[in-house]
Structure formats: C-alpha cells, structure tokens
C-alpha cells in the first residue's frame, strides 16, 4: 500500500475535520466560533483615517436645537441641499420617510434633484411583523428573486408622495434595505445582500449605494465553484468593485476591518449651520443617519 506523506495526511485530516465541524457542529460551538471571530476582528481592526465615507449624525445636539424627530420636510430638504453644496458626490440616507407630510413637496424636489439613495426596511419571518407601509423602490432588474435569498413578511418604505415623479422621463430613485440579520446573542454580524418580496429582489443599502456610485445598477448572482470560494457572490457590471462574497443564505459578513474612530462623524446641526470644515465633504460619500433615534 502506498504511504501517505505527513503533509498530505495532515491536510486531509484538517479538511475532514472542517467538513464534520461544518455539518455537525452544535449551536454552542457555532456561538463559540462567532465569539472567536469577534475577538479576531477586534484584534485585527485598524485605526486609520477614512475620508471616502463621512457620517452625518442626527445626534442629540441636533435634536435639541432643531427639534424632535421627525423634522419638517423643509429642514430635511435643506440638509440635502447643504451636503450637495459642500461637495458630497453621493448621499445615502439611513432614515425612512414612511408617512406623508404637508410640506412633502420641498423634500421631493431635493430628492429628485440630488438623487440620494433611500432606505427601506423589511421584516423577516423569524423576527415577526407583517406591516406594509409606504412604497417599495429599487428592485433589481431580475426576472425573479432566486435562492438563496429570504422572503420578507412585511416592510416599512418611503411615502409614495415622495417617490412619484410627474415627469415620466425622470428615472426612479434608488433604494436599499437596512434590515439586519440578528445573531442569537443580538449582535449584527451579517446582513442579507438581497431580500425578496412578492418575487422581486431588493438589495441592501450598501449594494444600492455601490451601484449608484459606480453608475451601474446591474448585479449578477453567481454560485461558488469550489470549497475555496464563497458559496455565492454578487458581481457588478462595473469593474470598480470586486465580487461581493455571500454565505449559504445570501448574507454579507459585516467586515469590521476599521475601528469606529477611523470614520469622521459630523453633527447634522453643523451641516445645517455651515460649521463643517471646507472641503471635508468634497467628493465623499455621505451617510446620513442617527445615533439617537430608536
């Protein structure tokens, strides 16, 4: 009988162990693996200045000075105008304008002019909820929503009065979902890259923003070709981005490579009162959200 080399045998044992672990691991081992991954992220995360993405925070100071949320639509429109004037190349809104208001026209005008990427949220069956509010937008140009993506049971989207353009030549606004995948311990480690609703495919906010930033909203789903590749991947028609690796259920692993202090965060109040340093927003992608809204 031919003798196996030590290196070959070690590789086979390691591979077999990995397969058995993947197939038969109990839930407590899976949790332990996640905790070890968390430790690795914390250990390897880098503190380095990040200027490509700027965070605009609707923080406690903004809410105290301007008023409680939701702000008047005219104020929200003014925020978009200020960001555009300060040179932001792409605006991404991590807030959802679910209900209509009397001054919708002011915000609608700014949305159609500056074309930010809007947010919407889905309810996953295991998390409960079947509410359907607002009008969904930003579905991918796919004939259906394929496996492995999950079917949502409800959604919170933006008001139809903000999305509808009277001029049929105006392209629809981009939108992406902000639905997290909660782990058993409540930590967000993955996000569905795409979610399905009524057989349409809706991308995550990051995917939608990347598509608009690259001026290409065409994405193709591909299955991994071997154990060295991710089970699935999303490829953009633009050469700007590498394929996005997905796990077995179509989730993106949140890459915690950068520490929170690597990102510049400015108060929405400072944007509205022109207290942001000159050139800070120039050619940056700006994410507008809140550290204080429940």
For 208-266, the pLDDT digits (tens) are 999 998 888 789 999 998 888 999 999 987 777 788 999 999 999 877 666 667 788 99
Q: Answer yes or no: do 173 and 27 share one domain.
A: no
Q: Which residues lie below 8 Å from residue 131, measured CB to CB, with a gap of 6+?
A: 123, 154, 155, 156
In the chain, DSSP assigns E strands to 50-57, 90-93, 118-123, 132-133, 150-151, 154-156, 175-177, 181-182, 188-192, 194-197, 200-203, 219-223, 232-236, 244-246, 251-253, 263-267, 285-289
Length of the chain: 294
Distances (CA, A) of 253 to 38, 105, 113, 149, 180: 12, 38, 33, 15, 11
Q: Answer yes or no: do 246 and 102 share one domain.
A: yes
> Distance between CA 271 and CA 192 in Å, rounded?
32
What mean pLDDT do residues 11-16 have? 43
> Rounded to the nearest 5°, which phi and psi values hold at 175?
-155, 150
Q: Is residue 294 part of a domain?
A: no
Q: Answer yes or no: do 261 and 200 share one domain.
A: yes
Q: How many folded domains does the chain comprise?
A: 2
Give yes or no for residue 112 having a pLDDT over 90: yes
* DSSP designation for 185: T
Tokens of 186: 């409540």
Q: Is residue 72 part of a domain?
A: yes
Q: What's the domain range around 128?
A: 49-289
Residue reference for tokens 């903000």:
162
Q: Is residue 29 part of a domain?
A: yes
Q: Answer yes or no: do 224 and 141 share one domain.
A: yes
Contact between residue 212 and residue 238 where contact means Cβ atoms under 8 Å apart? no
Confidence of residue 174 (pLDDT cuts 50, 70, 90): very high
Q: Answer yes or no: do 249 and 158 share one domain.
A: yes
């Amino acid at each position: 009988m031919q003798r196996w080399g030590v290196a070959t045998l070690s590789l086979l044992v390691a591979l077999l162990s990995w397969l058995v672990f993947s197939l038969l691991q109990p839930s407590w081992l899976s949790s332990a693996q996640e905790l070890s991954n968390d430790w690795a992220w914390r250990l390897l995360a880098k503190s380095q200045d990040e200027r490509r993405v700027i965070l605009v925070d609707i923080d406690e100071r903004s809410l105290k000075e301007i008023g409680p949320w939701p702000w008047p639509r005219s104020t929200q429109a003014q925020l978009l105008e200020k960001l555009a004037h300060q040179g932001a190349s792409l605006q991404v809104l991590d807030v959802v304008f679910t209900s209509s208001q009397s001054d919708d026209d002011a915000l609608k005008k700014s949305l159609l002019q500056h074309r930010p990427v809007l947010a919407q949220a889905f309810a996953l069956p295991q998390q409960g909820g079947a509410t359907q509010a607002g009008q969904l937008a930003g579905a991918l140009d796919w004939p259906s929503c394929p496996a492995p993506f999950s079917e949502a049971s409800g959604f919170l989207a933006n008001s139809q009065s903000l999305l509808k353009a009277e001029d049929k030549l105006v392209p629809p606004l981009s939108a992406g979902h902000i639905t997290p995948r909660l782990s058993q311990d409540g930590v967000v480690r993955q996000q569905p890259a795409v979610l399905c609703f009524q057989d349409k495919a809706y991308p995550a906010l990051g995917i939608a923003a990347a598509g608009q930033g690259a001026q290409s909203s065409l994405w193709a789903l591909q299955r991994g070709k071997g154990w060295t590749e991710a089970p699935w991947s999303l490829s953009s028609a633009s050469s700007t981005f590498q394929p996005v690796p997905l796990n077995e259920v179509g989730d993106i692993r949140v890459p915690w490579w950068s520490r929170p202090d690597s990102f510049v965060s400015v108060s929405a109040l400072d944007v509205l009162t022109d207290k942001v340093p000159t050139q800070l927003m120039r050619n940056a992608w700006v994410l507008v959200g809140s550290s204080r809204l429940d």
